[in-house]
Structure 1
Amino acid sequence: MSTEAGSGKKSPTRMPRDQRRAQLLDAANEVFTSKGYHAAAMDDIADAAGVSKPVLYQHFGSKLDLYLALLDASCDRLLEVVEEALASTEDNADRVVATMGAFYQFVSAASGEFRFVFESDLTGDGQVQQRLWKVNNDIADAIAVVIADDTGLPHEQSKVLAISLVGIAQVSARYWVSGGTSRIALEEATQLVSNLAWRGISGFPHRDSPHHNEPAERKPEEKKH
């Protein structure tokens, strides 16, 4: 195999453009998650991918472009797993467990992609801020639809409750994955946070209940309706 003039590096094996892009993103994910955005260099990413910098720049015009592509993919994945959890059951108690579990599964993935959404060191960039706001807003909208349908609350009130649940899920999942204390099992952590969330949200009676306008006290493990 030939080498690049003066570089001593082997020329990268030719592959279809979409496969090369995926390879570069995998390499960039590894570098960004280990070093952070500011400490990472395009040289590091090219080396990790086994390509030259010109090849890297053929696919991504800048380090920021690479980062935003990974952030977009991570945001899409988080929204996808949450929507799948919401659609996985008609039982609202089980739905809470599934949704909280989606966040915990997301942060425990070997790819480390959660760091782009939950622990970005580039939140001062407007494009990053916009994407982070959008994914949280989209997830809250999806949850708010379920809350409004179940309780009959207006969208604005349902959205406040929904964004609060998103906050609980994100902060607790980040704390769990950080290992700040002796980490408990994923299933136990999910159940604990689900019990907390369910105990609160189940206090809003079903829209068809005769006690619709009265707060209800329920046990955390009690299933609704």
Structure 2
Amino acid sequence: MTETAATASQRGVRLPRTERRAQLLAAAQRVFSANGYHAAAMDEIAEQAGVSKPVLYQHFPGKLDLYIALLESHVDELVGRVEGALASTTDNKQRVQAAVGAFFDFVNGDAGAFKMVFESDLRGEPAVQEAVDRATSASVNAITETITADAGLNEEKARLLAVGLVGMSQVSARFWLAHHSTMSREEAVDLTATLAWRGIGAGFPLQQQPPL
């Protein structure tokens, strides 16, 4: 069955609200990725999702609302990856490696997702800019908390280091994605994490060793 036929066969099927919302967001991702925001049409998104336009508008009053909801979901994914990386180990060297890896995995996942977060062409919209800023600020906050607790630095100094790590990881991951034909994800993460660790780990060692 073709995708069009498959989605068409879903019309009239009543889904729980959360499932329907996820279905609509997935359809919107495909359309926004293929056409960009300005050329994307709600008609096409409804068609991709296999629903009528009134159903689509019940969940999202307009295209911008849909775009922002999708963007927020991508930001939540990135922040969740970073927080999960920091919580995955108590070894700070491995934490840096995992945090850098979180950005590479996000960028290497759904290309449409990372482009919406890092390369959105709607930053003139306040709600879009707020969501984009949260991708960085929430990641920085999580790393700042870890550095403050483990390196014995005050919040201001820890935040500056966190901003550096986040910025390095974002830019390196995006560069790697565009030029990674001969470099594996593992090698790229190792190189970036090594650079970060030699600055953070060597310059600001763990103040209190974790209990054995």
TM-score normalized by structure 2?
0.87
Aligned twin of 2:191: 192
Aligned twin of 2:123: 123
Q: 1:30-45 to 2 correspondence within 5 Å? A: 30-45=30-45
Distance in 1 (alpha carbons) for counterparts of 2:207 and 2:16? 56
Q: 1:153-172 to 2 correspondence within 5 Å? A: 153-172=153-172
Task: Please state how far the C-alpha of 1:183 moved relative to its aligned partner.
Answer: 4.7
Task: Please state how far the C-alpha of 1:171 moved relative to its aligned partner.
Answer: 0.8
Q: 1:140-219 to 2 correspondence within 5 Å? A: 140-177=140-177, 179-180=178-179, 182-206=181-205, 208=207
Aligned twin of 2:55: 55
- The residue type equivalent to 1:147 in the other structure is I
Distance in 2 (alpha carbons) for counterparts of 1:156 and 1:142? 14
Unaligned runs of 5+ in 2: 1-7
CA RMSD of aligned residues (A): 2.1
Distance 1:116 1:153, change over 3 A: same
Task: Please state how far the C-alpha of 1:153 moved relative to its aligned partner.
Answer: 1.5
Comparing both structures, which one devotes a greater share of its residues to helix? Answer: 2
SS in structure 2 opposite 1:122? coil
Aligned twin of 2:4: none
**Bigger radius of gyration among the two:** 1
Distance 1:185 1:207, change over 3 A: closer
SS in structure 1 opposite 2:121? coil
Aligned twin of 2:22: 22
Distance 1:30 1:190, change over 3 A: same
Aligned twin of 2:113: 113
Distance in 2 (alpha carbons) for counterparts of 1:198 and 1:56? 47
Distance in 2 (alpha carbons) for counterparts of 1:159 and 1:191? 23
Task: Please state how far the C-alpha of 1:22 moved relative to its aligned partner.
Answer: 1.3
Q: How many residues align?
A: 201
User: What per-residue deviation string (whole Å, max 9, x for no partner) do you get for residues 91-135 of structure 1?
Assistant: 111111111011111112247422221121211111111112123
Distance in 1 (alpha carbons) for counterparts of 2:150 and 2:103? 22
**Given that residues 78 and 103 in structure 1 are in contact (C-alpha distance below 8 angstroms), is that contact kept between their aligned partners in structure 2?**
yes
SS in structure 2 opposite 1:37? helix
- The residue type equivalent to 1:205 in the other structure is F
Distance in 2 (alpha carbons) for counterparts of 1:54 and 1:208? 58
Task: Please state how far the C-alpha of 1:174 moved relative to its aligned partner.
Answer: 1.2
Unaligned runs of 5+ in 1: 1-7, 210-225
Distance 1:196 1:46, change over 3 A: same
Distance 1:135 1:10, change over 3 A: closer
Greater length-normalized contact order (CA 8 Å, ≥ 6 residues apart): 2
